[in-house]
Structure 1
């Protein structure tokens, strides 16, 4: 049995929900409300010392970090594949994933916003400008990476959903909530639109999020 420690406002958890849905895996869900700091309580920190979401429990193994979880799922449950077969193509997909997960997302999280407020006395407007800046900066680069590469197809890599799409969609959902107009990134917007036609993406979306297990 797989157990996902989750919350709807966690973009990284959103990624894992998409992957679990695409691979048609059943899982239980334990909810940690980011708004109340439940993810920082000793009970959860004992599971994931970083106090971050998500964490996936598979048997006796606790997995953290969304990319590591996706890699585990890809190896353990290879159907359908979410990475291409060729090493160079895998590297491209991982690079697109990391362009979101390593270069955009960490600068726009709730905890960064909180630190800007407490350490530098930034008001809400300043924090929003910070997040919008890094979103536009990162998405502009990703738009160029996708639009200029013939390997881009219906999705980020050719015509099959991959890790890259799994990272991109949650980031765009977050960006839209922060006032970013994604039509300024036409290739990104097209790919996200096609992803959202797929039920596994729709079922994982925060607006459709319902916990599978009682809250923590």
Structure 2
């Protein structure tokens, strides 16, 4: 396998965590987002969306979108499972992951922040305020989803990491990088700390990647 990623991309971070949990060690190809390497014709031919991550499988298939990649890995390498067996529990875990992937991250990714500056003329302070607003909106919901459900354990769902934790931890990391106030979210912070204590999560952290700056 070959993973195309960028050390600070939270979507690529998710896939690194999942690969580590599955005990898989792909070849890494680094696509520098801030230098615009994702816009190059060679990469656009691989992934027309010009996003990372992209995963080239052992049989040559090219997969995109972190959620699709992580679920593929879970289906092809089912142990340890990242989704519970019960359908309702699976739906809950997916809902937590999707709250990050669909409702928080798209509003705050690099291309949006660049557009706010270049096209709309917002300065860094205004862009950071935008970022923190949407983190607060999303984390308010996540905290309620996690704190008020008895199925929450050491991790988002029970006492073993799931798809939900794979998505939660990179978003917490991003929130910390932008100096968001996380004190209103003790359950989110506790779960993230428990996950980061595991080697699979720790080794996937942005600062531990060879392309980290």
Question: Following the alignment from structure 1 to structure 2, what is the Cα–Cα distance between the partners of residues 64 and 152?
Answer: 29
CA distance in 2 between counterparts of 1:156 and 1:175 reads 18
Which residue in 2 is equivalent to 1:142?
142
Query: Which 10-residue stretch deviates more, 172-181 or 14-23?
Result: 172-181
Which whole-Å CA distance do the structure 1 matches of 2:210 and 2:203 have between them?
9
Taking the TM superposition and a 5 Å limit, the aligned residue runs for 1:114-193 are: 114-193=114-193
- Equivalent residue, structure 1, for 2:43: 44
Shift >6 Å, 4+ stretches:
none
How far has the Cα of 1:182 moved from its partner? 2.0
Tell me how far apart the structure 2 counterparts of residues 170 and 89 of structure 1 sit (CA, whole Å). 22
1:6-44 deviation digits (Å, cap 9, x = unpaired): 110100000000000000012000000011000111110
Q: Secondary structure at the match of 1:134?
A: helix
1:97 corresponds in structure 2 to: 97
After superposition, residues 63-74 of structure 1 pair within 5 angstroms as 63-74=63-74
Matched position secondary structure for 1:4: strand
Greater shift in the superposed pair: 152-161 or 116-125 = 116-125
Note the C-alpha offset of 1:183: 2.7
TM-score w.r.t. length of structure 2: 0.97
Give deviations 1:73-124, integer Å, cap 9, x for gaps. Answer: 0110001111100111000000000000100000011100111112211111
Tell me by how many angstroms 1:181 deviates: 2.6
In structure 2, the partner of 1:214 is: none
Structure 1 unpaired stretches of 5+: 212-216
Normalising to structure 1: TM-score of the pair?
Answer: 0.96
Residue 78 (structure 2) pairs with residue 75 (structure 1)? no
Residue ranges of structure 2 left out of the alignment (5+ in a row): none
After superposition, what is the alpha-carbon deviation per residue over 1:49-79, rounded to whole angstroms, capped at 9, x for unaligned? 0000000000221000000001100110001
SS at match of 1:53: coil
Instruction: Give the Cα–Cα distance (whole angstroms) in 1 for the partners of residues 31 and 123 of structure 2.
Output: 26
Q: Deviations over 1:140-182 (max 9, x none)?
A: 1100110000010000001110000000000000000101132
Count of residue pairs brought into register by the alignment: 210
RMSD between aligned residues: 0.8
- C-alpha distance in 2, partners of 1:155/1:65? 24
| Alignment-derived partner of residue 29 in structure 2 | 30
Aligned-partner Cα distance in 1 for 2:61–2:103? 28
